Amino acid sequence: MKRLNRKLLFLLPFLWFLIPEGKLFTCDYSRAVFSRDDQLLRVWLTKDQQFRFEPSRDPLPKKYVTALLAFEDRRFWIHPGIDPLSVIQSTIVNVKARGVKRGGSTITMQLARLSNPNTRSFISKVNEAFRALKIEFWYTKKRQLQLYAAHVPMGGNIVGIEAASFRYFGKSPKELTWAEASLLAVLPNAPGMIDVTRKRPALLEKRNRLLAILKDRHKLTNSEYALAIDEPLPERVSRIPFEAPHFCRFAMSQSKKATIHSTLDRTIQKRLEEEIVRYRYTLNSFGVKNLSVLICDVPSGELLAYAGSQDYYDMAGLGQVDGIQARRSPGSVLKPVLTAAILDRGPFTPTSLIQDVPTYYGTFAPMNADHQFDGIVPLNQALIRSLNVPFVRLLDYYGAEQFYSVLTRSGVKFSEPASTYGLSLILGGAEMSLWELAQLYGALARDGAVRSLKYDRSLKDSVIDTLCSEGSAGLTRAILADLVRPEFEQYRASFSGKKGTIAWKTGTSYGQKDGWAIGFTGKLLIGVWVGNFTGEGNPAIGGAQSAAPLLFSLFNAFPRENDQITSTDTTKMDVVKICPESGFPAGELCPHAVERYLPKGRICEEPCRFHKVLSIDSATGEQLCSSCWNSRVVRHDTLLILPPAARLYQIKRGLAVDSIPPHNPTCSAVRSDRALELIYPTNGIRVFVPRNFGGVREKLYFSAAHRRSDAELFWYLDNHYIGSTVGTAKLMLDSITIGKHTLFVQDGDGSRVSCSFQAYLRDD
């Protein structure tokens, strides 16, 4: 038993070595954000008020390693944690000097002491030696150097070479000169000189002595040595960087890491801030106080610049609010996203005709910004002109809940369910952030896949979902690149001179509270928001007048020779025959057809329904049918027949439309009105016009019934078109004059009903 106990006692040291060392340091580290070129943007002190950076896994600067090993541990790469030769040499020197003149500690032993500081004694020295052996067993030489460099004291509350490099020299350790690297190598070895602002002659001599050693060992050339010797010590500790404050705060809020090596480009960030300084005074003169800008790299989705407000230090203007993450009404900037979605589904194409007429969905009656109607417009023109009515009709066709789902899967976080927003979703009815909108536009700028905006270089590319097909994204890009409106032409022309193209869109929220402008080239995506953080509206706020000028100023600030938007890959598309007049897939009745590229896999390819064949009496020019064409000379004409309301507005605008001949009045099969019935008002009724408590007349509701629940009805009051209803047979009338009126309703097939009624007030 005694022999066994002796063996166990003998084995205990070996077992101790086999127990993993674990984390050498349990201290906390300064939270820090670095730019894409590894310059410090912002740093926070640790809990014990130290500047101490997390140990890096990247190789240390060669100059620093060379200087450090020459000064502290020449045989570092070959000794086992303890250098016996150094111990013997230091002992001889100290005995002769009758005092401690030279230490024998290796970097590994110093690392052991730094990780477990104790009072200096013989026992602690022995303990350091044993721990150095164990560290050597469990850690590579490279990692030992990294840990030492990150935890070695550098004066005051500065710990490690990274903190020292930024505090003393204002730059990354990778940029250290030979003189600076040598200074950081000798600084921890001189406790009395650990503050570079004191005892400067002695510290300078110590540094220069190391430089001479490096020269003698042929680590420095004569010219390098001469330049290093002439380099002065830093005069003072550098100011702590505080750049891109909104971005740094956002990045830290998204990560638990102590150190973030970001994608932010300091050059672009500074140019952005310069442009904002110039532009903010223009806005302020109109009473507009705030703006936010986001700049991203299109191919990679990396964040390049981030300005959450006009000035972080503008306390009066709430400058510390981060407008990029704030949720606001996006106005019309979702229209390109719906365009891409609708092009994927079909049957719509970029030139498909959409009605632009007064339309009612229950109590919701969308209106264009200019309160005018075109009658009918191609989809691409509706997007270019940002017409509201056609896009509400498109959303009704696509489905508000389906579009809501597309946005949700693409990273948009809504505060309410889809039913709360309804069709107003496409007009800015739901609040979104500039960050979310930039992700959506990034998908349109690339291949249709929504990728998370990348702010941290260590993060992997993350695809959230597919917004649309590559072909649909390309067609939408082409429309946005052709966006030409008179009030924007000065901006567009200024960018065109840079030999590039830009796809862009603006938006204005209801009440002119938010102005948006988002655009992209093949390389850059820029998003601009303009408004007031307090939420009040202003006539000067708008995508066109206040956000677009800054957008184009920024694009002009970063000239890109031949920076074209990404072209459409036609191999990812199908060739489809299109009716050139209606823009829908050509049907059998379409007299001509042209081939166009459309996205693959479209769900709906319903052919053109605008062309119809009419049987015409050659003698009278009247329409005929099988019940009345006997004994008549009949010809068959193919005409483009627009819906009644669209025809009316086209004619009002002086545009030519195909003339529809009247039906033979003597025909016994003239269409019956029984398919359509007017419910309210009824013929001869007196209609009371109510007033609210303020004496203002309230709205009237008319209703009809059709045997087809999806029929579109067209309403006329006193022979003036007042609107159409889709999917509902109720129309809301904003105002009506007191007196007699005639109302008639017609469906798309020509069936119609009418009535006469009298409107009156209670005191009539």
87 compared with 653, residue with greater pLDDT: 653
Confidence of residue 9 (pLDDT cuts 50, 70, 90): low
Angle between helices 434-445 and 335-345 (to 10 degrees): 40
pLDDT in tens, 195-216: 666 667 888 999 999 999 999 9
Q: Grade residue 672 by pLDDT with cuts at 50, 70 and 90.
A: very low
Instruction: Give the span between the Cα atoms of 530 and 168, in whole angstroms.
Output: 40
The model's pLDDT over 608-652, given as tens digits with 9 standing for 90+, comes to 988 888 888 888 888 887 778 777 778 888 888 888 778 777 877
* pLDDT of amino acid 21: 65
CB 451 within 8 A of CB 439: yes
Q: How many angstroms separate the CA atoms of 225 and 214, rounded?
A: 9
Question: CA 637 to CA 103: how far, in whole Å?
Answer: 107
Query: pLDDT by residue (tens digit) across 390-442?
Result: 999 999 999 999 999 999 999 999 999 999 999 999 999 999 999 999 999 99
What pLDDT, on the 0 to 100 scale, is given for residue 651? 78
Q: For the chain, how far is it from start to end, CA to CA, in angstroms?
A: 121
If one compares 116 and 367, the residue with the highest pLDDT of the two is 367
Instruction: Specify whether the CB–CB gap between 441 and 525 falls below 8 A.
Output: yes
390 preceded by cis ω (within 30°)? no
Decide yes or no: CATH 3.50.50.60 for domain 2-230. no
Poorest-pLDDT segment among 77-81, 515-519, 542-546: 77-81
∠ CA 163-166-169, rounded to 5° = 130
E strands, 566-666, are 573-578, 594-599, 611-617, 623-624, 634-640
* Eight-class DSSP state of 317: T
Q: What integer is the mean pLDDT of 190-199?
A: 62
Identify the band that residue 92 occupies on the pLDDT scale cut at 50, 70 and 90: low
Would you state the pLDDT for residue 16?
A: 54
For the chain, give every domain's residue range: 2-230, 570-599, 673-760
Closest by CA position to 84, among listed 46, 133, 39, 152: 133
List the beta bridge partners of residue 519.
504, 526
Q: Which candidate, 201, 200, 194, places its Cα nearest to that of 153?
A: 194
Residues 153-182 have a mean pLDDT of 92
Q: Which residues are catalytic?
A: 72, 332
pLDDT of residue 620: 83
pLDDT band at 292 (very low <50, low <70, confident <90, very high): very high
Q: Do domains 2-230 and 673-760 have the same CATH topology?
A: no
Nearest to 183, CA basis, from 63, 284, 266, 82: 63
Q: DSSP of 358-390, one letter per residue? A: -EEBTTB----TTS---EEEEHHHHHHTT-HHH
Residue 194: per-residue pLDDT:
60
- pLDDT at residue 240 greater than cutoff 80: yes
Contacts by 634-638 with C-beta closer than 8 Å and gap 24+?
Answer: 637/613, 638/589, 638/591, 638/611, 638/612, 638/613, 638/614
What does the DSSP assignment read for 228-277?
A: HHHPPPPSSPPPPPB-SHHHHHHHHHH---SEEEB---HHHHHHHHHHHH
- Please give the residue that has the higher pLDDT: either 617 or 372: 372
**pLDDT for position 457:** 94
> How far is residue 722's CA from residue 703's CA, in Å, rounded to a whole number?
14
Check: CB of residue 412 under 8 Å from CB of residue 386: no
Query: 300 CB contacts (<8 Å, ≥6 apart)?
Result: 454, 461
- Mean pLDDT on 13-39: 80
Task: Give the number of residues written for the chain.
Answer: 764
3-state secondary structure of 302: strand
Would the pLDDT of 131 be above 50?
Answer: yes
What's the pLDDT at 361? 79
Q: Do the bridges between strand 739-747 and strand 712-717 make them parallel or antiparallel, or are there none, so unpaired?
A: antiparallel
Q: pLDDT category, 673, cuts 50, 70, 90?
A: very low
Task: State the pLDDT confidence band at 560, using cuts at 50, 70 and 90.
Answer: low
pLDDT band at residue 732, thresholds of 50, 70 and 90? confident
Residue-level pLDDT at 88: 62
Q: What is the CATH number of domain 673-760?
A: 2.60.40.10
Q: How confident is the model at residue 345 (pLDDT cuts 50, 70, 90)?
A: very high
Q: Which residues contact 140 (CB under 8 A, 6 or more apart)?
A: none
Per-residue pLDDT averaged across 254-259, rounded? 92
Mean pLDDT value across residues 260-270:
96
Half-sphere exposure of 341 (CA within 13 A, CB side): 25
Mean pLDDT of all residues belonging to the chain: 86
Task: Find the mean pLDDT for residues 355-372.
Answer: 85
> What's the CA gap between 430 and 415, in Å, rounded?
8
b/e per residue 548-580 (b: at least 16 CB within 10 A): bbbbbbbbeebeeeebebbebeeebbeebebbe
Residue in the structure block whose two tokens are 């199908």: 574
